[in-house]
Amino acid sequence: MPYNRSLPQETLQRLRAEIAIAFGSGEAPLRFSVEDVLARMIAMASYQMEGYIEYVTRQILPTTCDVEWLPLHAQVWKVDRREAAHAIGAVDFTGTNGSTIPAGTSLRHSNGQEYTLDADVTISGGVGTGDVTAVVSGAAGNAVDGATLTITSPVPGVQSTVIVGEDGLSGGVDIEDAETSWRGRIIARWQTPPHGGNAADYEMWAKEIAGVTRAWVYPSQLGVGSVYLLFVMDEKVGTIIPSAPEVELVQNHIDVQRPATADAVVAAPTPVALDFEINISPNTLAVRTAIQAELEDLIRRESIPGGTLLLSHIREVISIAIGEHDHALVSPSANVTRDFGDITTIGNITFGAL
């Protein structure tokens, strides 16, 4: 039976009745009498005490505790919060052969983000490639391939405009969101304690790396004693598919954690874009935006390597989009099933009037 916390007035009425019985008068104490003042003080103190007990009770479990208490539960279950990480990647310089761009050279993106060159780069054949690291950690440091940076202090013989390489600048992630991610990992660790290297352990180990949001484990996929792990990074700019350095980072972390007898292989799934053709009513920008958001959320929730995206679920999320009155889904026209290792990603969405 649930406990109902009494309001101060309810407690006060009970105390007044108890005082009347104790004194045998049958009547409540007079207002502003010593007895009535004491009853009021006790009622308010009881209400505050019950409130504190209720608050502390919520903090006992990671499922209900306030965010401020998560570090305590994380310490007990050894689930550290993932720190923010710096974006890294290659950039291309152009200039006069033999010119050198020294390590530490500062570069700036048009959005204000700054980067520093990791090592000296010498121009050869008119170009030179070097690795840069974002000064400030976080997802804001990520940049798509082809983006332009500017050298903040001129370097003799080198053009001030620098081009981001084909892999872009990636790996920058914000500090782990306490409510949507960290709490979930703490609860998962609480509900599924380590089992010496089962599938849940590998998934947990992968998610300990900053930026990893989903992971799938396939025991014996590459033979007896093997463990094959695929993962994605949903918060990356431009793509959820991890780069080679990010795969290597997870692989190294898994190698430290895995049992000595296990042969673990970490890889990135192959993205397969799914295009949509939808006729909608009303065909407005607001409705199109709402439908796109619902489709992106569906794919994030239900798209797995080698999995099936149900046509009925696609129609459902289109129908629940804010402002949608009616629609006709032209494409896809059937369930979408991928081969092992392939994962469905959002493609182009073509809208028409119904």
Which CATH code of 3.30.70, 1.10.20, 2.60.120, 2.40.30 fits the domain covering 88-164? 2.40.30
Q: Give the separation between CA 253 and CA 260, rounded to whole angstroms.
A: 14
User: What is the structure's pLDDT at 1?
Assistant: 59
Could you tell me the pTM of the whole model?
A: 0.69
Mean pLDDT of 283-290: 96
User: What is the structure's pLDDT at 17?
Assistant: 84
Tell me which amino acid residue 284 is. T
Give the C-alpha distances (Å, rounded to integers) separating 4 from 10, 12, 15, 18, 51: 12, 16, 17, 20, 11
Q: Give the separation between CA 256 and CA 206, rounded to whole angstroms.
A: 11
Q: Is the pLDDT of residue 99 over 80?
A: yes
Q: Is the pLDDT of residue 29 over 80?
A: no
Name the band, by pLDDT with cuts 50, 70 and 90, for residue 26: low
Q: Is the pLDDT of residue 2 over 80?
A: no
Around Cβ 179, how many Cβ atoms within 10 Å?
9
Least confident of 16-25, 125-134, 273-282: 16-25
Q: Is the pLDDT of residue 3 over 80?
A: no
Q: Is the pLDDT of residue 76 over 70?
A: yes
Q: Give the separation between CA 253 and CA 172, rounded to whole angstroms.
A: 18
**Residue percentage of the chain with pLDDT more than 90:** 71
Mean pLDDT of the chain: 92
In which residue are the tokens 């692989």 written? 251
How is residue 29 annotated by DSSP? P
Helices 34-59 + 8-23 axis angle, to 10: 140
CATH class of 192-267: alpha beta
Q: Which helix (H) or strand (E) holds 311?
A: helix 311-319
Least confident of 23-27, 128-132, 182-186: 23-27
Name the band, by pLDDT with cuts 50, 70 and 90, for residue 125: very high
DSSP string, 254-302: HHHHS-TT-EEEEEPPEEEEEEEEEEEES--HHHHHHHHHHHHHHHHHH
Least confident of 34-43, 113-122, 180-189, 288-297: 34-43
Please, which residues have CB within 8 angstroms of residue 89's CB and are 6 or more apart in sequence? Answer: 131, 132, 143, 164, 165, 167, 168, 169, 170, 171
Q: Give the separation between CA 343 and CA 130, rounded to whole angstroms.
A: 32
Q: Is the pLDDT of residue 217 over 90?
A: yes
Evaluate whether 103 touches 119 at the Cβ level (below 8 Å): yes
Please, which residues have CB within 8 angstroms of residue 191's CB and are 6 or more apart in sequence? Answer: none
Nearest to 43 by CA among 8, 10, 71, 68: 8
Q: Give the separation between CA 119 and CA 105, rounded to whole angstroms.
A: 9
Please, which residues have CB within 8 angstroms of residue 106's CB and are 6 or more apart in sequence? Answer: 114, 115, 116, 151, 152, 153
Name the band, by pLDDT with cuts 50, 70 and 90, for residue 66: very high
Q: Is the pLDDT of residue 261 over 80?
A: yes
Nearest to 19 by CA among 45, 6, 37: 37
Mean pLDDT of 130-156: 93
Q: Is the pLDDT of residue 204 over 80?
A: yes
Least confident of 43-57, 270-284, 319-333: 43-57
